[in-house]
Amino acid sequence: MECVDRARGAWPRYALLPLCERAHVLRRMRREVLRRGDEIAQLVTQETGKPELEAFAHEVLVVAALLRYYERLMPRLLRPRRTDPGLLLHKRAYVTYEPLGVAAVISPWNYPFSLVGIPAVCALSAGNAIVVKPSEVTPRSGALFVEIARNALRAAGCEEAAQVLQGGGEAGAALVDAPPDIIAFVGSERTGTRIATAAAAHLTPCILELGANDAAIVCADADLERAARGVVWGAFSNCGQACVSIERAFVERTVYARFCELVVKETRALRRAIPPTRESDIGRMTFPPQVPIARRALADAVERGARVLCGGGGEGLALEPTVLADVPLDAVLHVSETFGPLLPLCPVESAEEGVALANRGPYGLNATVWTRDRRRARRLARLLESGSITVDDALVNLSVSSLPYGGVKHSGYGRLMGEEGLRAFTRTKSILEPRLRLPREPVWFPYAKRGPLVRGLLRRLLSR
Ligand code: NAD
Residues 370-384 as b or e (16 or more Cβ within 10 Å = b): bbeeeeebeebbebb
Q: Is the CB of 416 under 6 A from ligand 1?
A: no
Closest CA to 14 of 156, 225, 166: 156
Please say if 239 is a catalytic residue.
Answer: no
207 lines ligand 1 (CB under 6 A): no
Give the pLDDT score at 238.
96
Which of helix, strand or coil describes residue 284?
coil
- pLDDT, residue 276, reads 86
Task: Give the per-residue pLDDT at 452.
Answer: 85
Pocket of ligand 1 contains residue 243 by CB under 6 Å: yes
pLDDT tens by residue, 373-405: 999 999 999 999 999 999 999 999 999 999 999
Tell me the CA–centroid distance for residue 110 and ligand 1, in Å: 9
In the reported structure, the alpha carbon of residue 412 is separated from the centroid of ligand 1 by a whole-number distance in angstroms of 12
pLDDT at 99: 98
Cβ of 309 closer than 6 Å to ligand 1, yes or no, is: no
Q: State the maximum Cα–Cα separation within the chain, in Å, rounded to a whole number.
A: 88
Instruction: Evaluate: CB of 41 within 6 angstroms of ligand 1.
Output: no
By the 10 Å C-beta count (0-12 exposed, 13-18 middle, 19+ buried), 338 is classed as buried
**Smallest CA separation from ligand 1 atom 3, residue:** 188
With contact defined as beta carbons under 8 Å apart, do 186 and 37 qualify? no
By the 8 A CB rule, do 312 and 342 touch? no
| pLDDT < 50: residue spans in the chain | none
Q: What is the pLDDT of residue 103?
A: 98
pLDDT of res. 393: 97
Residue 122 annotated among the catalytic residues of the structure: no
> Ligand 1: which residue has its CA nearest to atom 23?
187
Domains of the chain, CATH where assigned: 2-210+412-427 (3.40.605.10), 215-399 (3.40.309.10)
Among 115, 175, 191, the mutation site with the greatest number of ligand 1 atoms within 8 A of its Cβ is: 191
- Residue of the CA atom closest to atom 20 of ligand 1: 172
User: Is 237's C-beta closer than 6 angstroms to any atom of ligand 1?
Assistant: no
Atom number in ligand 1 closest to CA 212: 34
Among residues 209, 247, 252, 320, the one annotated as catalytic is: 209
Torsion of Cα atoms, 164 then 168 then 171 then 175, to 10°: 70
Buried b (16+ CB within 10 A) or exposed e, 196-233: bebbeeeebbbbbbbbbbbbbbbbbebebeebbbbbbb
Whole-number Å distance, alpha carbon 339 to ligand 1 midpoint, is: 12
CA dihedral sign of residues 282, 286, 292, 297: negative
- Name, in order, each residue with C-beta under 8 angstroms of 32's C-beta and a sequence gap of 6 or more: 148, 151, 152
- Closest C-alpha to 184, from 262, 128, 73, 106: 106
Find out whether the beta carbon of 398 lies less than 6 Å from any atom of ligand 1: no
Contact yes or no for 150/118 (Cβ under 8 A): no
Is any atom of ligand 1 closer than 6 Å to the C-beta of 184? no
pLDDT of residue 455: 87
* DSSP string over 132-186: EE--TTSHHHHHHHHHHHHHHHHTTT-GGGEEE---SHHHHHHHHTS--SEEEEE
Structure confidence at residue 453 (pLDDT): 85
How many angstroms is it from 403 CA to the middle of ligand 1? 22
Of 122, 146, 126, 149, the C-alpha closest to 134 is: 146
| Pocket lining: 176 vs ligand 1, CB cutoff 6 Å | yes
**CA–CA distances in Å: residue 397 to residues 37, 367, 403, 405, 416:** 21, 11, 7, 8, 12
Looking at ligand 1, which atom is closest to the CA of residue 109?
26
Measured by CA distance, the residue closest to atom 40 of ligand 1 is 209
Q: Which atom of ligand 1 is nearest to the CA of 175?
A: 20
Give the residue, out of 66, 106, 189, with the most ligand 1 atoms within 8 A of its beta carbon, to mutate for a pocket test: 106
